Each structure stands twice: as C-alpha cells, then as structure tokens.
Amino acid sequence: MDDLQTVRGWLEQAPRLCVLTGAGMSAESGVPTFRDALTGLWARHDPQQLATEAGFRSDPQLVWDWYGSRREGVARAEPNAGHRALAAWQAAHPERLTLVTQNVDDLHQRAGSTDVICLHGALFEDRWIDPCAREVRGEPACDPARAEPGRPPRCGECGNLVRPGVVWFGEALPGRALQAAEDAASDCELMLVVGTAGAVYPAAGLPALARQAGARVVVLNPQPSELDRGAHVVLRGTAAQLLPQLLG
C-alpha cells in the first residue's frame, strides 16, 4: 500500500484530526511564501525592517504600504483546491477537524473553513500600535476602523497609529489561539502538517506535541522541511495536489 493510501486509512480511523498549515498552503493561490528563494517576500525586504514593531515605529509608512501591497495581493488571490478540500472535509465531518494556521491571509476562511485558529494574527485586521488613551482611562477604546485616513491611519484624538493585526517577530502569539492549538495537537489522533518549513516556533513545535501525545504526524510538502524527521510519513507534493487526494 503506498503512503497516500496508508494516510487515508489513518484518516478514516482518526476521531480527531488537527491540520497545521503554513505559507505553502497558499502558494498555489499565488501568495508568495516567506522563504521561497525566487518570490519569497523576505528575499526582497529586510524582515527586521518590515515585520517588527521597531521597524514600524522607524518607518510607519513603509511598513503600512508593504502590508497594503500584501492585502491587495491576497484580495486578488483565490482559495486553491487544497483550501477547498479542507473546508469540504470539515463540513462533512463536523467536530472532527481543528485547523491551525500560521498564515495571515484569509484564504482558509474564504474557502469556507470555520473556527480557524490563527496563530500569527490576521492580515485584514487593524489594531493600535499603542494602548488607546481612552481605554487606559477605563473608557471604551477608539475603533481603528474609524481612524483618520493616512499611511498609516491615525487617531484624530490622540495621534495613535493603526498597525496591521499580525504577530511581528519578537511579539507574543495570541495566548488563547496558542493554547487552543496546543490542546488540539495534544488531543488529536492524526496531524497533517501542510506547507510549512517548520522554522518558526512555537508553531513548529506543535507536530512534536502531537507525536508525544500519541498522534500520527504526516508532513505534506514538495520540499524537505525541518519537520520531516519527526513525521511518521512525508508526502512529497503540493497542498492543492495532495489534500484533495487525501480528503476527497
């Protein structure tokens, strides 16, 4: 029996499936991955300048414009067959799938996946760079969506700047999302790890957590990754090729 059939058999026997996705999940939708040598976003920019609080504070307009270009790129992209296969499987097997993503695009959600655990925030969400002065006084915080237009938008009352609602290097992950992801990894019988280099923690630690808890771990990636070694099976292929074959 080949690896794909083996994993399909495991899937049928697994009451709880956890899927961890990374930037490779969206590659076939035309959204560049971070570490792709040809089109990777980091290859063209210094991540320390673009994806950190210090980088934003030193040049808010550059960082805001870069995220603006990413938002435009994602808005033009469509979910691929891999996104759709995950959403269809979740709909057909309620309560069995927990989807955890490192991606900040909204392609899983646009494909129909629900209750997606977003470890690194969301590209289309805005938040304030500093605590809102009203909130500090115990009043309702100002709404970033009502900020004065600009690059970046700014609070008309106190000058607070709007920043993208993503997790930057050096920032803590949203605690509830990380806890939910760790719970799902520890409770599943099967984990699929799709399209991630496994280079960034704590997300990259979830497959080991699943394995330690007795789950089978399967990596889906066209290239070798740092998570291959800890996997029971590695399926060499892309998200849009493999997920429909596996879940269909």
Give the residue at shortest CB distance from ligand APR.
24
List binders of ligand APR among 180-219 (CB under 6 A).
195-197, 199-200
60 binds ligand APR (CB under 6 A): no
35 binds ligand APR (CB under 6 A): yes
120 noted as active-site residue: yes
Partnered with residue 207 across adjacent β-strands are none
Distance CA 105, CA 31 (A): 9
At 67, which amino acid appears? Y
Distance CA 115, CA 183 (A): 14
Distance CA 23, CA 7 (A): 22
Exposed / middle / buried, residue 239 (Cβ in 10 Å: 0-12, 13-18, 19+): buried
102 binds ligand APR (CB under 6 A): yes
**Nearer to ligand APR by C-beta: 23 or 155?**
23
Binder of ligand APR out of 7, 14, 17, 24 (CB under 6 A):
24
| Least separation in angstroms between CB 197 and ligand APR | 4
Q: Which of 45, 83, 108, 120 is catalytic?
A: 120
- Inter-residue contact 169 to 51 (CB < 8 Å): yes
**Nearer to ligand APR by C-beta: 122 or 155?**
122
Nearest CA to 100 out of 165, 171, 172, 174 is that of 174
User: Running DSSP on this structure, what letter comes out for residue 201?
Assistant: T
List binders of ligand APR among 212-241 (CB under 6 A).
221-223, 225, 238-239
At 103, which amino acid appears? N
| Least separation in angstroms between CB 236 and ligand APR | 10
List binders of ligand APR among 72-91 (CB under 6 A).
none
Binder of ligand APR out of 70, 120, 163, 216 (CB under 6 A):
120
Question: Which sequence positions are flagged as catalytic?
Answer: 120
